[in-house]
Every structure is written in structure tokens, then in C-alpha cells.
Amino acid sequence: MDEVKVLQVKQSVFAANDRQADQLRAQLKKKGIFLLNLMSSPGSGKTTTLKRTIEMLGGEFRIGVMEADIDSDVDARAIAVTGAKAIQLHTGGMCHLDAEMTRQGLEGLDADDVELAILENVGNLVCPAEFDTGAVKNAMILSVPEGHDKPLKYPLMFSVCDVVLVNKMDVMPYFDFDFDQCRAYVQMRNPNAVVIPICARTGEGMGPWIEWLRSQILAWRADDFATEKVEV
Amino acid sequence: MHELGIVFHIIRSVEEVGRANQVRHIRAVALELGEVSGVVEEYLQDCWKWAAARSAMLDGAQLKVRTIPARTVCEACGEVYPTVQYGRQCPACKSEQTHLVQGNEMMIQEIEVDPESEAVPAADE
């Protein structure tokens, strides 16, 4: 019998992606582009929240948006109306974006003159959480009709988020949604996550979110050592 | 389709290792999969068969999966217990201050190279 040669790998499935994500972050740092990865379930209000965000921050930062979906360009069209640069990425059936797809998206967006790039990830609470996109910060939106127990059901998503926006606060009287309980569940999974109640449709509560995002962008620009750990 | 994305990442990494070692064809890939990694092995195998057939280096290669049992440790009393059976609450003291010690792995362990497919001797080693 012929001898089988075995190569030891001992590498996480995500190791190559994590490396590419670190490289992308370092490149973005050099170019001064802050990349935000926005995740949520389908229908939680990502696009509406983005439109409001562009309205409120568009005067301060040049914004570019990448809309990732399995199909259609309805989201990119909705964003283009705001005047922000927008591109639609089709994942070809894939349920998430990884670092390489994000890099290609940024290229397609021609992002070099963009200061704030926002990736609207595929609507899904499972897979996007597993793949580092190269973003500087991760945000997720949980909408009131989805229920306050989502942090218990999708723990990984909540543990990778820097900020959780609880959207559709205006419909709270019609649902059994306990905001304090929701915040407690998020903090059980991720003590560092900031939880901000908003209503993107009416604009209520958007101030603290905009303030958070602005402070993150400015802090990242000021910190010269944030991504220096990776050689490109 | 979550498993398909994971399979693509495994194939990309394995092909990279193969190229670095001047390998033409791989006959098997050994993977360690945690019990609570969120991956369904059956789906992973289906996606693997489909995707491996489209790679010259991996066509027909077997994916050997070893399952790692999930274990959680209680920060309050130190008990280590099976995660799938008891979840996040410690069965001994009922504390919810617990964390997973193993069981979410997705590790490519090793690659079995087809002996006949080895290319010209490697430059180094």
C-alpha cells in the first residue's frame, strides 16, 4: 500500500478570512475610510435607518453605501436618492459577506474619496456574525416586532456587535417587547455593547446613535495604532 | 446556505496549503467540528461534495469530520458540564455566569495528499 503523506494544517476555517479582514482594515486606515458593518434580520429597517443616518451625517462625512443582497437593486436605488454613493452587491445566493467580497465591493464603490463606508450586510442573524468583513465597527438593528428575546436565540450576533439599535420603538405599545429585559439580555452576551432605542421612520432617538457613530469615526481617525498590528 | 460559505472557506485555505506544498491532488481533509459550532454536518458534507468536485485539487476528496463535544464551565462553582444537555445554566448551582470552554471549533486539522499526485520535488525541505 502506498504511503499517504499528511500535511498538518491546524488552522481555523475562519483564519484566512480573519487575516484578509485585518489587512483590509489596515488599508482602510491608511486611506482614512471608516467602514461600518450593519447587520440585522430582513425587514428590521436597515435601509430606513441608513437613509436617516445619511441625512444627519452626510454634511459632515462623504458617505458611501454597499447594499448586499441575494438579488435585486431596490436598496441601492433607495440609498442613491439620498445623494450618497451607493452600490448593490449580489452575493449569488450566499447568506453573508466575507472580507474578500467586501474588498471587491469597496473597489466597485470607488471608495477612495469616501470617509464613511457602510456595508449593509445580508439580512440574517446567523452567518454574517461569523465572518469578519474588515469593518472597524459592527452595528446591528433589532426591531421591536422581532421580540426582546433575540439576544438569547442568536448569541453570536450580539456578541460581535459594538452597538445594538432597537428600532421601531413607535410600535412598542402593540407588542410584548420589554426594552429593559432586551438590554439585559444583550449585556449578558456582550457587556461592552451599547444599546440605543430608535425609530428610524420618525427620527426619534436618532441623535444618540449619530453621536455614537461620529465619536467612533473621530476616535478611529485619531488613533494611529488601532490597526498597526498587521503588516500589509 | 451557511454551510456552503464555510465549505468555500475550507477549500480556499486547503488549496492555499496545497499550492505551498506543490501538491496536485488531495484525497482527504480532516476537520474538527464543535458540537455547538452551528454547522450541520450532513449539509456540510453535501456542500463539500458539490464544491470539491469543482476544484482540480480536491475533486473526489473526502471530508473527514471529528465532532468535539461542547463543555461549559460555571464561573460561580467551577463545575464543567455538557453544554447541549444543560445550556447556559449550571446544573450544579443554577448560576447563569457560565462560559463555553470547548465546542465551537471549526478547525482544519490535516490534509492527506494523494501519493501519486505529488508533483516535482519541492524546492525547499
Residue A5 within a domain: no
Determine which of B3, B6, B10, B13 to mutate to test the interface with A (most A C-beta atoms within 10 Å): B13
Residue A150 within a domain: yes
Determine which of A1, A13, A124, A133 to mutate to test the interface with B (most B C-beta atoms within 10 Å): A13
Chain A residues with beta carbon closer than 8 angstroms to that of B13: 9, 11, 13, 15-16
Q: What is the mean pLDDT of chain A?
A: 91
Residue B92 within a domain: no
Strand pairing report for B71-74 and B80-82: antiparallel
Q: What is the CATH number of the domain that holds A119?
A: 3.40.50.300
Is A156's Cβ below 8 Å from some Cβ in B?
yes
Chain A residues with beta carbon closer than 8 angstroms to that of B3: none
pLDDT band at A114 (very low <50, low <70, confident <90, very high): very high
Q: Which chain A residue is nearest to residue B113, measuring alpha carbons?
A: A5
Residue B52 within a domain: yes
In this structure, are residues B80 and B72 in contact, taking their beta carbons and an 8 Å threshold? yes
pLDDT at A203: 95
Nearest in space to A68 (alpha carbons), one of A22, A30, A112, A104: A104
Cell of A85: 454613493
Question: How distant is the Cα of B65 from the closest Cα of chain A, in angstroms?
Answer: 13
Residue B14 within a domain: yes
In this structure, are residues B97 and B75 in contact, taking their beta carbons and an 8 Å threshold? yes
pLDDT of A231 > 50? The answer is no
pLDDT band at A92 (very low <50, low <70, confident <90, very high): confident
pLDDT of A221 > 80? The answer is yes
A15 contacts B106? CB cut-off 8 A: no
pLDDT of A226 > 70? The answer is no
Residue B44 within a domain: yes
Question: How distant is the Cα of A102 from the closest Cα of chain B, in angstroms?
Answer: 14
pLDDT at B117: 63
Greatest Cα-to-Cα distance within chain B, rounded to the nearest angstrom: 61
Is B112's Cβ below 8 Å from some Cβ in A?
yes
A99-109 helix and A15-31 helix, angle to the nearest 10 degrees? 30
Chain A residues with beta carbon closer than 8 angstroms to that of B107: 10-13
pLDDT band at A126 (very low <50, low <70, confident <90, very high): confident
How many structural domains compose chain B? Answer: 1
Residue A182 within a domain: yes
Residue A105 within a domain: yes
Is B95's Cβ below 8 Å from some Cβ in A?
no
Q: In what order do the strands lie in the sheet with B71-74?
A: B80-82, B71-74, B98-102
Can you tell me the mean pLDDT for A92-114? 89
Q: What are phi and psi of A85, to 5 degrees?
A: -65, 135
Q: What is the CATH number of the domain that holds B61?
A: 3.30.2320.50
The label of the residue with cell 461542547 reads B70
Can you tell me the mean pLDDT for A168-186? 96
Can you tell me the mean pLDDT for A205-224? 94
Instruction: Please tell me which of the candidates A8, A14, A126 has its beta carbon nearest to residue B9.
Output: A14
Residue A13 within a domain: no
| SS3 assignment for B90-110 | CCCCCCCCEEEEECCCEEEEE
Over the stretch A11-52, which tens digit does the pLDDT of each residue have? Answer: 999 999 999 999 999 999 999 999 999 999 999 999 999 999
Residue A231 within a domain: no
Angstrom distance (rounded) from CA A135 to CA A152:
24
In this structure, are residues A166 and A182 in contact, taking their beta carbons and an 8 Å threshold? yes
In this structure, are residues A50 and A57 in contact, taking their beta carbons and an 8 Å threshold? no
Hey, which residues 109-128 in chain A have their CB within 8 Å of chain B?
Answer: 126-127
Domain that holds residue A84: 27-206
Q: pLDDT (tens digit, 0 to 9) for every residue of chain B, 125 residues total?
A: 589 889 999 999 999 999 999 999 999 999 999 999 989 999 999 999 999 999 999 999 999 999 999 999 999 999 999 999 999 899 999 998 999 999 999 999 999 998 876 555 544 44
pLDDT band at A232 (very low <50, low <70, confident <90, very high): very low
Over the stretch B32-45, which tens digit does the pLDDT of each residue have? Answer: 999 999 899 999 99
Q: Which chain A residue is nearest to residue B111, measuring alpha carbons?
A: A7
Residue A90 within a domain: yes
Q: Which chain A residue is nearest to residue B109, measuring alpha carbons?
A: A10
How many structural domains compose chain A? Answer: 1
Cell of B73: 464551565
Q: CB-based burial of residue B41 (10 Å sphere; 0-12 exposed, 13-18 middle, 19+ buried)?
A: middle
B113 contacts A9? CB cut-off 8 A: no
Residue A215 within a domain: no
Residue B62 within a domain: yes
Q: How far is CA A174 from CA A165, A168, A177, in A?
A: 19, 11, 9
Domain that holds residue B39: 2-69+102-115
pLDDT at A73: 84
